[in-house]
């Protein structure tokens, strides 16, 4: 009986050694037979270069954030200057329709009213009104029907807007 056990143990060890050799040979066949992995090395080198570049960017960003911010430049305080008093424009131009309302050369005290508060007046319309000498709500509120007709006729690209949006009534409310 002991003889049979000795034979079986010897046979198992031989078969295990043979299986190990076959596994090593199969691995060598499958994974490269000792060939160099130049593609792997190139990919690894590219990843390393990208990693170094990103680290350098991160360090530069940290250094830039660590630098003290430049001191803000002080805003100069404006010196009060007496604003010129706008003289009324004496031009009473007569158009085909209506009479031109009296305008100003500049806004009173250098500060015009925000004409955009009137429905139908946007930034472009406000600039157009200012170019015609109308800066304040009380100017528009004082327009007569013939003056409204003149302005309606002379607002380039916006003809009829004053009447349609009822500027005079709105300006009277805003002038208060």
Q: Which H, E and C letters describe 65-96, residue by residue?
A: HHCCCCCCCCCCCCCCCCCCCCCECCCCCECC
pLDDT of 94 reads: 45
Q: What is the mean pLDDT of the chain?
A: 82
Q: Are residues 115 and 57 in the same domain?
A: no
| Res 170 pLDDT > 50 | yes
Answer yes or no: do 117 and 62 share one domain: no
Q: Over 90: is that where the pLDDT of 16 sits? A: yes
- Residue 92 pLDDT: 46
Share of the chain above pLDDT 90, in %: 24
| Cα four-point dihedral sign 42, 44, 47, 51 | negative
Mean pLDDT of 123-146: 91
Counted domains in the chain: 2
Query: Both 113 and 168 in a single domain?
Result: yes
Does 124 map to a domain? yes
| pLDDT at residue number 90 | 45
Give the model's pLDDT for residue 29: 85
Mean pLDDT, residues 105-116 taken together = 91
Show the domain range for 154.
Answer: 108-175
Contacts of 64 (CB under 8 A, 6+ apart): none
Residue 162 resides in a domain: yes
Confidence of residue 91 (pLDDT cuts 50, 70, 90): very low
Give the per-residue pLDDT at 96. 63
pLDDT at site 84: 60
Q: Is residue 26 domain-resident?
A: no
Q: Are residues 55 and 112 in the same domain?
A: no
Give the mean model confidence (pLDDT) for residues 57-72: 77
Do the domain assignments include residue 121? yes
């Amino acid at each position: 009986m002991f003889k049979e056990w000795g034979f079986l143990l010897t046979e198992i060890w031989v078969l295990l050694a043979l299986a190990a050799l076959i596994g090593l040979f199969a691995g060598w066949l499958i994974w490269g037979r000792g060939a160099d992995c130049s593609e792997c090395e190139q990919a690894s080198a590219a990843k390393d270069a990208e990693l170094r570049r990103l680290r350098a960017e991160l360090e530069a960003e940290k250094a830039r954030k660590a630098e003290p911010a430049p001191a803000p430049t002080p805003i100069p305080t404006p010196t009060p200057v007496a604003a010129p008093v706008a003289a009324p424009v004496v031009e009473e131009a007569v158009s085909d329709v209506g009479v031109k309302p009296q305008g100003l050369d500049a806004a009173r005290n250098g500060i015009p009213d925000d004409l955009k508060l009137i429905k139908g007046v946007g930034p472009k319309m406000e600039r157009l009104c200012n170019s015609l000498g109308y800066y304040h709500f009380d100017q528009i509120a004082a327009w007569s029907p013939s003056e409204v007709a003149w302005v309606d006729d002379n607002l380039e690209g916006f003809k009829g807007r004053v009447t349609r949006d009822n500027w005079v009534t709105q300006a009277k409310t805003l002038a208060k």
